[in-house]
Structure 1
Amino acid sequence: MSPNASAAATAQVMRQVTEELFNAANFDRLDELVAADFLEHSPMPGVRPDRQGLVEMIKRGREGLSETHTQIHELIAQGDRVAARWTTTGRHTGRYLEVPATGREITIHGMSFGRVAGGKLVEHWTQVDTFGVLDQLENDRTN
């Protein structure tokens, strides 16, 4: 496989994880997209850093935010590594980051990095603008 084809395949895995797991919550595709020995280097507090923890993290997010959608704005891959800059939008309809539901629409900005092997995501790191999210949840910007 050429380096360009390898990078394209790596990018496609991140794209599919985003669409199938985060956007569609289609956990039937988990085994196909995420390695059994997956390691999350940036797990949510109280969530295991493995494949089941990834599912739990997505489900917890969907409990606090309805109508969620993640959009990848930039996706860069080289070899087995991939980087994505993304936003997630949703309505705050349940407890999220310890803040009771406000009904507000929020936007979460973040970046994720992954390592892919055998066509599956095997490692993942993420950085989220948590202060920006808390500001949106705690401060009414409609006035």
Structure 2
Amino acid sequence: MTDEEVLQIALDTGRIFNDGDEQAAYELIADDFIDYEAPEGAPRGPEAYAATARWMRTVWENANWEVVDAFAKGDKAVLRLIFTGRQVADFMGVPATGIEVRVQHLHVFRVVDGKVSEHWAVRDDLELFRQLGAWTKPLQGAPKPVPAA
């Protein structure tokens, strides 16, 4: 596959999260798909990916993943996203706040035979929890570490 084709498949996964298009999961996600962002032992495959999207869309009203940068090389594509949404249900132990959030994510997709086979993500969860009021981030930055003796 060309870099452009790999990138387009990664971009098309946005239909699953942004549009709630669960059929797209079966078109774009491999049966043996592994999501390294999911907890150890979590189910694999297109239904698992669709279920994650379904859950996120129930937690976050008006959930949106906006692509701001994207590229592909070989069998991998990288997307830098801005996630926005209003928290309307419990998320990772934080009760619904009704707060609108805006948080950056990085996602890496590996595409094999025209389908996403692996996914890694880095989300700015500290910033997310700061926006939700669940964590207070020092305004002037963290204290400087003390050198070892």
TM norm structure 1: 0.85
State the identity %: 25
Q: For residues 26 and 54 of structure 2, what CA distance do their matches in structure 1 show?
A: 17
After superposing on structure 2, the runs of 4+ consecutive aligned residues of structure 1 that deviate more than 3 Å are 44-47
Comparing 42-51 and 101-110, the one that deviates more? 42-51
| Aligned partner of 2:84 among 86, 89, 94 | 89
| Correspondence 1:61-140 to 2 at 5 A | 61-138=56-133
In the alignment, what sits opposite 1:13? 9
The answer to whether the 8 Å contact 2:4/2:72 transfers is yes
Determine which structure has the larger helix proportion and give its number: 1
Cα-Cα RMSD: 1.7
Structure number, greater radius of gyration? 2
1:72–1:44 Cα change, 3 Å: farther
| Matched position secondary structure for 1:138 | coil
Comparing 91-100 and 50-59, the one that deviates more? 50-59
* 1:84-108 residue CA offsets vs partner (Å, 9 max, x unmatched): 1111100111111211111111012
In the alignment, what sits opposite 1:60? 55
The answer to whether the 8 Å contact 2:107/2:120 transfers is yes
Matched pairs, number: 134
Comparing 54-63 and 66-75, the one that deviates more? 54-63
Q: For residues 128 and 70 of structure 2, what CA distance do their matches in structure 1 show?
A: 22
* 1:99-131 residue CA offsets vs partner (Å, 9 max, x unmatched): 111111101211011111121111110111111
TM norm structure 2: 0.82
Flag structure 2 segments of 5+ consecutive residues without an equivalent: 135-149
